[in-house]
């Protein structure tokens, strides 16, 4: 099947675009929304509820903070929307006290699953590499690891959409991909 990767900045429209894409892919099929966001405070609870109300009622929602591969391997649905890798990495770092070796293992496991999937999968992530260098070590590590995770997913994805101001561009359709070298 097909793997779609959707990235962009905060409030760029990436989640809305990914939901639209999953809706189109899911016509007449079972769609599962895999939520990685933890409800850590009242504002996050409201944000999660708002997003839930915006999704089609027939979609199944699964909250999975750490192991999205397990959800994909269950293969109980036709279309998967995973929102988002940015929070998944956050959860890995804080819940698992991640080392670089474990990060690489988890990334490899995800990429292996995506490379062999027979499902339609839409993944969402933030693009952090366009901003300033963070001031502290942990923030720089998060930025670096998210960049590497995004690159790995983009490499195996069939389509990679960059969303800016609500406009999506399929980067793999542009000439000069880094993978062409």
User: What would the pLDDT profile of 90-117 be if each residue is shown by its tens digit?
Assistant: 999 999 988 999 999 999 999 999 999 9
Q: Is residue 133 a part of any domain in this protein?
A: yes
Question: Which domain range does residue 123 map to?
Answer: 3-173
Q: Is residue 181 a part of any domain in this protein?
A: no
Q: Is residue 180 a part of any domain in this protein?
A: no
Q: Is residue 144 a part of any domain in this protein?
A: yes
- Give me the catalytic one of 20, 51, 77, 108: 51
pLDDT of residue 144: 95
Picking from 1, 4, 3, the residue whose alpha carbon sits closest to that of residue 162 is: 4
Residue 21 has pLDDT above 80, yes or no: yes
Whole-angstrom distance, CA of residue 4 vs CA of residue 2: 6
Here the CATH number for the domain that contains residue 56 is 3.40.50.300
Q: Is residue 179 a part of any domain in this protein?
A: no
**pLDDT 10s digits, 57-72:** 889 999 899 999 999 9
Q: Is residue 94 a part of any domain in this protein?
A: yes
Residue 181 has pLDDT above 50, yes or no: no
Q: Give the pTM.
A: 0.91
Residues ≥6 apart with Cβ < 8 Å to 80: 31, 32, 34, 71, 72, 119, 120, 121, 122
Per the structure, the count of domains in the chain is 1
Q: Is residue 178 a part of any domain in this protein?
A: no
Residue 108 annotated in active site: no
Residue 39 has pLDDT above 70, yes or no: yes
């Amino acid at each position: 099947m097909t793997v779609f990767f959707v990235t962009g900045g905060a409030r760029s429209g990436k989640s809305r675009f990914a939901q639209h894409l999953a809706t189109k892919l899911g016509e007449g099929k079972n769609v599962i929304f895999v939520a990685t966001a933890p409800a850590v405070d009242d504002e996050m609870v409201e944000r999660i509820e708002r997003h839930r109300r915006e999704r089609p009622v027939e979609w199944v929602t699964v909250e999975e903070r750490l192991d999205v591969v397990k959800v994909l391997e269950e293969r109980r649905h036709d279309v998967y929307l995973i929102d988002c890798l940015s929070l998944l990495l956050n959860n890995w770092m804080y819940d698992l006290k991640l080392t670089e070796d474990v990060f690489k293992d988890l990334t490899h496991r995800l990429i292996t699953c995506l490379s062999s999937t027979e499902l339609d999968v839409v993944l969402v992530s933030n693009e952090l590499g366009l901003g300033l260098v963070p001031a502290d070590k942990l923030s720089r590590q998060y930025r670096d690891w998210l960049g590497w995770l995004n690159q790995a997913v983009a490499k195996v994805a069939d389509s990679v959409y960059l969303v800016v101001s609500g406009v999506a561009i399929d980067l793999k359709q542009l000439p000069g991909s880094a993978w062409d070298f």
